[in-house]
Amino acid sequence: MASIDELKSLATRRNGLARPNQFLVELPAIGGISPSEMNILCTRASLPDKQILTSDRRISMEFEKIAYGYAVPDVSFSFLAMNDYGPRRYFDSWRSRIIDEETLEVGYKVDYEFPVKIHQLKKPIVGFSRNIGPLNAINISATVGGGSVYSVELINSFPTTIQAIDLSNELDGLVEVSVQMSFTNWRSIEASQDFINASVSSVIG
């Protein structure tokens, strides 16, 4: 079993341990909302998986699995909503490109399928964090430098589910807009250079 010192040494050589809260998303410009604003408001994102599909083949008295393809399940994102409901309006606008809710006509793929990129970031060089708003309930943070260590591009992606938002007098906290994105495939892309990243989150439990 590795010692703590060995783990520290390995982490130092490999630029530290990856952290789930260090990420950046790149979405298309839709509905007058900038991709940089959507990245700031993004609180959760999922790196995609790829499932190898297999079938069983019998050889004598034994069975073996034979690969014949793969599947790419949807991925999910969550965004904080400001009082202009920007992220909800963003995905409502994207959805209207997919299907016209009055005529039920489906749009052309070229008009609603876009690449979406997700970056796992390195530990930032410098950063700051500040709580604002009533009861200091909103935390704004920004980080500079580092670049990404692993990046993927979702190919031909579009939202398939814009989840319901629960409103209740018994609930406190901030409203989040959650969506599921479908895509035909994904691929690893070259890691990015230095970055400036910002995020907004709730400090209310």
Question: For position 46, what pLDDT does the model report?
Answer: 94
101 inside domain: yes
Any idea what the CATH number is for the domain that residue 137 is in?
2.30.110
Question: For position 129, what pLDDT does the model report?
Answer: 55
10 inside domain: no
3 inside domain: no
Range of the domain at 160: 22-202
Question: For position 9, what pLDDT does the model report?
Answer: 73
Question: For position 5, what pLDDT does the model report?
Answer: 74
176 inside domain: yes
Question: For position 159, what pLDDT does the model report?
Answer: 97
How far is Cα 78 from Cα 178, in angstroms, rounded to an integer? 4
Tens-digit pLDDT profile for residues 102-132: 898 999 999 999 999 999 988 764 444 556 5
Question: For position 136, what pLDDT does the model report?
Answer: 59
115 inside domain: yes
11 inside domain: no
pTM attached to this predicted model: 0.77
Question: For position 61, what pLDDT does the model report?
Answer: 79
35 inside domain: yes
Question: For position 174, what pLDDT does the model report?
Answer: 87
Q: Along the 205 residues of the chain, how does pLDDT read in single tens digits?
A: 667 777 777 766 667 777 888 888 999 999 888 888 899 899 999 999 999 999 988 887 788 888 989 999 999 999 999 999 999 999 999 999 999 988 989 999 999 999 999 999 887 644 445 565 555 556 656 555 568 889 999 999 999 999 999 988 877 788 999 999 999 999 999 876 555 555 555 554 4
197 inside domain: yes
Question: For position 205, what pLDDT does the model report?
Answer: 46
- What total of structural domains would you count in the chain? 1
